[in-house]
Chains A and B, each alone.
Chain A
């Protein structure tokens, strides 16, 4: 069964450093998403991406965040200058088309900012 692959599974970074979280969505999917889950809390939407541009973003997704799909297969989330409160599990997801219920999550990247 196709899956969404995220790397790394765990990343530790120093406050103020830039991090890039990587995702390989399912190849024929068209819609891509990043979600965040602070430990013990609910999953929150960050951003959606379609047709090589951001289609929607939440209030969390401020100027410190950016997304890219550089080569048609990878989908990346960059945090420019990490803060302690960025420590969370970050999930990538992809879906095939509007209206289809298929919505596949990656296994997540646990980011720890120290």
Chain B
């Protein structure tokens, strides 16, 4: 069975600094996708970045990058130049590319950016 582990319940970072949010996963499938979502206090799920298991390069989207280490089964999110608006809950999720592709989520990390 798929499993996502986020070991950091909360993280603090100062504005303009970089921060890494950890995510490890467990799957027996060779083909899968990894997602990061941001959930602000308003509750919606905002897609940030995606990494496919066969992608050779780490995904990047603006200030977000995904440090994908396949052998270690980790997919850490790096946010560069943190902004106050980055304060939110962050969820790592995995989708196996078989079946009907439900997402399995981690427990989330609450990020607080201070001035």
Is chain A's interface secondary structure helix, strand, loop, or mixed overall?
Answer: strand
**Is residue B47 contacting chain A, with contact meaning CB distance below 8 A?**
yes
Q: How far is the CA of A43 from the CA of B43 in the complex (A)?
A: 11
Instruction: Tally A-B pairs: CB < 8 A.
Output: 58
Which chain A residue lies CB-closest to B95? A103
**Is residue A31 contacting chain B, with contact meaning CB distance below 8 A?**
yes
Interface size class of A (residues with CB under 8 A): 20 to 34
Q: How far is the CA of A103 from the CA of B100 in the complex (A)?
A: 12
User: Which residues on A sit within 8 Å (CB–CB) of B101?
Assistant: 31, 48, 95, 98, 103
Q: A35-B103, A42-B108, A56-B100 are in contact. Are A89 and B52 (CB under 8 A)?
A: no
Q: B72-104 vs A: 1/0 string, CB under 8 Å?
A: 000000000000000000010101010111111
- A residues with CB within 8 A of B: 31, 33, 35, 41-45, 48, 50, 55-56, 89, 91, 93, 95, 98-99, 101, 103-108, 110
